[in-house]
Structures are given as structure tokens and as C-alpha cells.
Amino acid sequence: MNLTIRDADLRDALAIATIQVEASQAAYRHIFPPGSSTIVVQDRILVWEGIITRTECHQRVLVAEASGDICGYVHLGRCRDDDQTLGAGELYSIYVAKTAWRSGIGRSLLQAGTAHLVKAGFETATLWVLAANDRARGFYERYGWWCDGTERSVDVGVTEVRYRTTFGQ
């Protein structure tokens, strides 16, 4: 597979929204009750268009493209957690089309995203993951991220845990 990772542009908003909705529904179906998701592609398109066009926010969206099709994305920027220093970046989200899971695209996006955080001068990075999402937690741990013990509630009975990594100095 010939994979290209590049900055997202407005034309990618539909593909990003579709991947986010479909992959999250598949990945989280064992975590959230059936029918509880209110996330829909049309609403997410507008959100992604706004993120992609905002130049002042120090955020970046990278997409993975194979054979002309967007098959994943990573969204990153400055850490939004109040307890972190300005030297911390954050991976806000990373999703791969469910038809491309376990193909190496997630690894490529994670590596590209962390490379951009390093290039931006961040010394550490964080990300939030659903505590019950064992697949994602194992993925991050394989690439050197660790759970720092910080948790937050995102829904009744659903918790996120924070992971972090440091970059070689």
C-alpha cells in the first residue's frame, strides 16, 4: 500500500467526519449503550471544516491517504489540560477507517503526529482514551505511551484515562 500522510484541507472534511463516526461507533459499541450515540456525519463535517480552516489555534489535522482515499486522520496541538505546562502537546484524536484497522495506518499516523509535536517544540504529549477501550490502550502502550493515573468522567459509568509520552531531549 502506498500511504501518504499530509495536512488536511477542506475537501477532506467529509472523509474525516465519516471515519470518525463509523470508527467510533464500531470501536465503542461495547462501551456505550446501543443507540446512545448522537454523533452524525453531517454535524461533524461542519466541525472539521472549522478546525481545518482555523489557522490561529495551533492545531493540525493530518490525513492518511492511500490510492486517493482518505483512510485515517490525526488531530493534534497544544495540550488543553490545565495541569500541564506550555511544553506539552496533545493528540486530540486519531481514527482509522474500520476497513483499514490493523493495517499499519494508525501507527503511521501516530508517528507523524508525534513528529509534528516534536517539531513544534513540545517536550511531552498527552492523549485521552476511554478506560474500557483496551484495543486503543494496548496500541498506545506498544508505542511507549503510559497511563499517568489521571481520569475524568465523560458519561454515566464511562471514564477516560490520560496517557502521556516524553520526547528525547
What is the mean pLDDT of the segment spanning 36-62?
Answer: 83
CATH number for the segment(s) 3-166: 3.40.630.30
pLDDT digits (tens, 9 = 90+) for 85-136: 878 999 999 999 988 888 899 999 999 999 999 999 999 999 999 999 999 9
Domain map of the chain by residue range?
A: 3-166
Kindly indicate the confidence band of residue 31, based on its pLDDT and cuts at 50, 70 and 90.
Answer: confident
* Count of Cβ atoms closer than 10 Å to residue 91 Cβ: 25
Sheet holding 88-96, edge to edge: 3-7, 59-66, 69-78, 88-96, 124-130, 158-166, 146-155
Rounded to two decimals, the pTM is 0.91
